[in-house]
């Protein structure tokens, strides 16, 4: 979104130094029609600057043309999926019964190097192929469902994929690193957020060595319990952002298709209602913040 300022102020004050900016990125585009409807509405309103697409979803073929109509209004990436859902191709070692493992099992296998590198690489390639077939171009970025893209074994496949498919077009990769001291000061699900950050520490080092473009601060991790109003979560996630801050979110409208494949349902609507409301830009404007493309 272009700079958000309290009404009238921009007409009377001289230009100062650029205001702090951050990027809002919605995960899971394509997982279900209601999620797609919400994300497209927020992109149209200028509230989202990026969305990661689940191109392995059975809904992707119908949702992709609707997203393509919004080219130029936000960046579109691939939300690489290796957990809970069905893969696009056969993965006898990773998904012998046709369903990908849980995130806990995937983390365990990756840390003990019990993942089939070739199988993982082939599936991620298929997911990028599905994006390009529908959108007619390479994705703007890569990230991962349940942050699996930063795990050992998987991350090597992701970086190779970036080098071959995204580097020529200037694409970037999501980093999940944030300083644990910042996480604990924020006080939102600090244990989970710290684990995700630390799992991404090695990945971040690899990206810096390779010169991979990436965000420099990552926020948005919470337990989806609804115990804290999303307006307050948003305020804390967007407070004092350093340069290159990316905040992930999961807006959506609940439908039967979503209920059939995900446990995360009602909280998506809480996020959507806040992000679509006037409270979102007012929260940013009150603190002198802007939204900007990554």
What domains are there in the chain, each with its CATH number? Answer: 22-284 (3.20.20.370)
Predicted pLDDT of residue 18: 58
What is the rounded distance in angstroms from the CA atom of residue 135 to the CA atom of residue 97?
A: 30
Predicted confidence (pLDDT) at residue 17 exceeds the cutoff of 70: no
Dihedral angle sign, alpha carbons of residues 72, 73, 75, 79? negative
In tens, the pLDDT along 19-78 reads 688 999 999 999 999 999 999 999 999 999 999 999 999 999 999 999 999 999 999 999
- 75 vs 170: CA distance, rounded Å: 12
Distance between CA atoms of 142 and 162, rounded to whole angstroms?
A: 8
Q: State pTM to two decimals.
A: 0.91
Round the average pLDDT of the chain to a whole number and report it. 92
Between 59 and 17, residue with greater pLDDT = 59
pLDDT of res. 19:
66
DSSP three-state, residue 127: helix
**% helix, strand, coil for the chain, step of 5:** 45, 10, 40
d(CA 89, CA 187): 41
- CA 280, 283, 289: angle at the middle one, nearest 5? 105
Residue pair 257/34 in contact (Cβ under 8 Å)? The answer is yes
What's the average model confidence in pLDDT over 186-211? 95
The predicted structure's pLDDT at residue 164? 97
28: number of Cβ within 10 Å: 26
End-to-end CA distance of the chain: give it in Å, rounded: 11
Model confidence at 265, pLDDT cuts 50, 70, 90, reads: confident
CA distance 14 to 4: 16
What are the tens digits of pLDDT across the range 219-253? 999 999 999 999 999 999 999 999 999 999 999 99
Q: With 0-12 CB in 10 A as exposed, 13-18 as middle and 19+ as buried, what is 177?
A: buried
The answer to whether 216 and 247 are in contact (CB under 8 A) is no
Is the model's pLDDT at 8 over the cut of 90?
A: no
Specify the DSSP class assigned to residue 163: I
Q: What is the DSSP letter of 24?
A: E
Contact criterion met (CB below 8 Å) for 179 and 189: no
User: Which DSSP category does 266 fall into?
Assistant: H
């Amino acid at each position: 979104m272009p700079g958000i300022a309290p009404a009238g102020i921009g007409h009377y004050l001289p230009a100062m130094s650029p205001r702090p900016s951050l990027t809002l990125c919605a995960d899971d585009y394509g997982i279900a029609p209601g999620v797609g409807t919400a994300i497209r509405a927020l992109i149209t309103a200028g509230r989202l600057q990026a969305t990661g697409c689940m191109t392995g979803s059975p809904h992707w073929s119908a949702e992709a043309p609707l997203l393509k109509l919004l080219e130029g209004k936000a960046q579109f990436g691939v939300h690489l999926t290796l957990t809970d859902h069905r893969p696009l191709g056969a993965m006898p070692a990773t998904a012998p019964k046709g369903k990908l493992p849980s995130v806990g099992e995937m983390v365990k296998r990756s840390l003990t190097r019990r993942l089939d590198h070739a199988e993982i690489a082939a599936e991620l390639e298929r997911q990028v192929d599905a994006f390009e077939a529908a959108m007619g171009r390479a994705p703007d970025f890569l990230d991962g469902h349940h942050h699996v893209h930063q795990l050992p074994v998987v991350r090597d496949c992701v970086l190779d994929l970036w080098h071959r498919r995204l580097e020529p077009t200037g694409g970037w990769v999501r980093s999940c690193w944030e300083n644990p001291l910042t996480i604990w000061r924020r006080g939102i699900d600090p244990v989970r957020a710290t684990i995700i950050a630390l799992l991404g520490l090695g990945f971040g080092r690899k990206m810096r060595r390779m010169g991979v473009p990436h965000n420099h601060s990552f926020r948005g991790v919470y337990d989806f319990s609804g115990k804290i109003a999303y307006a307050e979560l948003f305020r804390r996630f967007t407070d004092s952002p350093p340069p290159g801050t990316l905040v992930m979110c999961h807006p959506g409208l609940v439908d039967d298709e979503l209920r059939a494949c995900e446990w995360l349902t009602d909280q998506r609507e809480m996020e959507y209602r806040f992000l679509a409301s006037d409270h979102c830009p007012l929260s940013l404007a009150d603190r002198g913040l802007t939204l900007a493309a990554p």
